């Protein structure tokens, strides 16, 4: 169960990175699904995350109470606060970015005029990933699971690797290319 959860986390991140770049280079989803493809893609990514979470949940159940760090009532309160905070941070991020901004809309040609610096971006560089990591940590605490803590660290590392080496460079290329095209049109 644990290895499947590790794999599911990695596969989910690879999935949205590969499909975003595939769309950017080929427009295959837009050609197939039309101008609202980004919305279908958002639903697809939510389902992908739910599948990931199902594998994580199974791993936590199989490994519950293997690292009891808190009394049960403290674990309940702490995990509840972390979970609600993570969900609220993700919803705040969605409000700041909109569906197109949160779900790789730039790969679909929906570019923002400038980087978002309001809302949760005043406090975090990648608030959606922070919120998701808080939710994962809340589950590790709730299940008092050694594997849950390891999965939380793994999720954090995979997100950070993705931002630094895949998503960040991809987004830079998109906006850099858009800037070059805009300059060519102006001249």
Q: In this predicted model, what pLDDT tens digit does every residue of 13-34 receive, in sequence order?
A: 999 999 999 999 999 999 999 9
Measured CA to CA, the distance from residue 34 to residue 76 in angstroms comes to: 45
Residue 55: exposed, middle, or buried by beta-carbon count in 10 A (0-12, 13-18, 19+)?
A: buried
pLDDT at 178: 85
Question: Token pair of 155, please?
Answer: 């999720």
pLDDT at 180: 76
- 112-171 confidence digits (pLDDT tens): 988 899 999 999 999 999 999 999 999 999 999 999 999 999 999 999 999 999 999 999
pLDDT at 179: 81
Residue 163 DSSP one-character state: I
- 41-100 confidence digits (pLDDT tens): 999 999 999 999 999 999 999 999 999 999 999 999 999 999 999 999 999 999 999 999
pLDDT at 187: 65
Residue 121 DSSP one-character state: G
pLDDT at 114: 87
Measured CA to CA, the distance from residue 23 to residue 37 in angstroms comes to: 10
Q: Band of the pLDDT at 184, cuts 50, 70, 90?
A: confident
Q: Band of the pLDDT at 37, cuts 50, 70, 90?
A: very high
């Amino acid at each position: 169960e644990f290895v499947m959860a590790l794999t599911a986390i990695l596969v989910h991140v690879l999935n949205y990175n590969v499909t975003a770049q595939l769309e950017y280079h080929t427009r295959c989803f837009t050609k197939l699904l039309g101008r609202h493809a980004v919305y279908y893609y958002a639903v697809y990514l939510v389902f992908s995350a739910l599948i990931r979470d199902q594998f994580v949940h199974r791993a936590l159940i199989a490994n519950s109470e293997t690292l009891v760090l808190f009394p049960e009532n403290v674990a309940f309160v702490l995990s509840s606060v972390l979970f609600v905070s993570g969900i609220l941070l993700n919803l705040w991020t969605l409000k700041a970015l909109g569906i197109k901004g949160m779900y790789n809309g730039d790969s679909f040609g929906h570019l923002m005029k400038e980087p978002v610096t309001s809302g949760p971006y005043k406090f975090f560089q990648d608030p959606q990933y922070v919120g998701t990591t808080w939710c994962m940590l809340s589950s590790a605490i709730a299940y008092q699971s050694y594997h849950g803590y390891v999965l939380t660290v793994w999720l954090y590392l995979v997100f950070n690797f993705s931002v630094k080496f895949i998503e960040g460079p991809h987004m830079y290329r998109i906006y850099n290319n858009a800037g070059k095209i805009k300059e060519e049109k102006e001249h």
